[in-house]
Structures are given as C-alpha cells and as structure tokens.
C-alpha cells in the first residue's frame, strides 16, 4: 500500500482570457492532497467534505475542532474510505440497484418520509439525489469490505 499525503501543495494559478481577449480572470486549479495507491483525493473533494461536516454540525448544534484539525480528521477519513473502496474494486464487490433502492427507501422511512419526500428534503439542502445514491452505494461497498474482513 502506497500512501503519500501532501503537506500543503500550492495551487497553480491559470489565466483564462475572456472571449474578447480584453479582460482576464484568474482561476485556481484543483490540487491533489493525498495519493492513495492508484487513487487520489483532490482539494475540491476535501473542501466539499469539510463543508458537509460543518453544515451537519451547524444543523445539529455540534461543536467542531479548529479548521486545520478538522481538515486533517476529514482527510484521514477520506483516505480510509478510499482504501476500502479500492479493496472493494479489487474483490469485484458491487451493489446492485435493487439493494441500493431498498437501502434508500429504508433511510427515507427511518426519517418518516417517502422516497420522494426524502429526495425533496436532500435537494432542499443543496444535495442531489444522484449524489446521495452514490454516497449510499459507497457506504454499502465499504460495509461489504468490513464484513469480509471480520469473517476472515
């Protein structure tokens, strides 16, 4: 297993010219914050996950550690998740749509909602149902990996 964590790689600015070539905007390129075997974790993915954690904590009234400590904790979790997902791919594990839909209905029911109400609720929070489906699929794959590890 190869694991390299970035220690603060600088973002490289990219100059993009407007169509009339008279004005220019500066945009920052995404950067790699961790390499996990054959996968990478990008700065944008880390920032998105931190924002999710902060949003959840705010909604639940929870306290969070300082931002740099939170970022480190979130990155460590993302690395562990990526390792488990790679293990799932190597073992050819999968989650079929029937299982996934059953799990989504279960989540909706545990929140006293129909699947349509659940979809509306997550979209009201700025998250697409497709993103939720992918997150649940990933969680289910990681659970399969963990169960295989325990049974061995």
Residue 60 has pLDDT above 90, yes or no: no
Lowest mean pLDDT among 10-24, 27-41, 59-73, 125-139: 10-24
Output the pLDDT for position 142: 97
- φ and ψ at 32, to 5 degrees? -85, 125
Distances (CA, A) of 81 to 78, 125, 126, 140: 5, 24, 23, 11
30's tokens = 């995404």
Distances (CA, A) of 10 to 34, 43, 76, 94, 124: 14, 11, 20, 37, 34
Are 132 and 86 contacting, i.e. CB atoms less than 8 angstroms apart?
no
Residue 23 has pLDDT above 90, yes or no: no
Output the pLDDT for position 116: 94
Residue closest to 83 by CA, chosen among 131, 31, 44, 38: 38
Alpha-carbon span 123 to 131, nearest angstrom:
10
- Per-domain boundaries in the chain: 1-65, 91-152
Q: How, if at all, do strands 24-28 and 39-42 pair? A: unpaired
**pTM for the structure as a whole:** 0.74
Q: Among 3.30.460.80, 1.10.940.10, 3.40.50.10320, 1.10.4030.10, what is the CATH number of 91-152?
A: 1.10.4030.10
């Amino acid at each position: 297993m190869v694991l390299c964590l970035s220690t603060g790689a600088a973002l490289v600015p990219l100059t993009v010219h407007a169509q009339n070539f008279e004005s220019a905007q500066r945009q920052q390129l995404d950067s790699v914050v961790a390499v996990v075997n054959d996968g990478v974790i990008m700065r944008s993915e880390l920032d998105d996950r931190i924002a999710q954690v902060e949003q959840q904590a705010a909604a639940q009234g929870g306290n969070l550690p300082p931002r740099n400590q939170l970022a480190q904790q979130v990155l460590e979790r993302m690395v562990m998740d990526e390792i488990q997902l790679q293990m799932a791919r190597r073992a050819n594990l999968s989650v079929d749509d029937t299982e996934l839909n059953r799990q989504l209905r279960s989540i909706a029911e545990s929140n006293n909602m129909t699947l349509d109400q659940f979809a509306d609720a997550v979209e009201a929070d700025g998250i697409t149902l497709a993103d939720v489906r992918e997150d649940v699929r990933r969680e289910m794959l990681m659970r399969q990996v963990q169960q295989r590890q325990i049974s061995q």
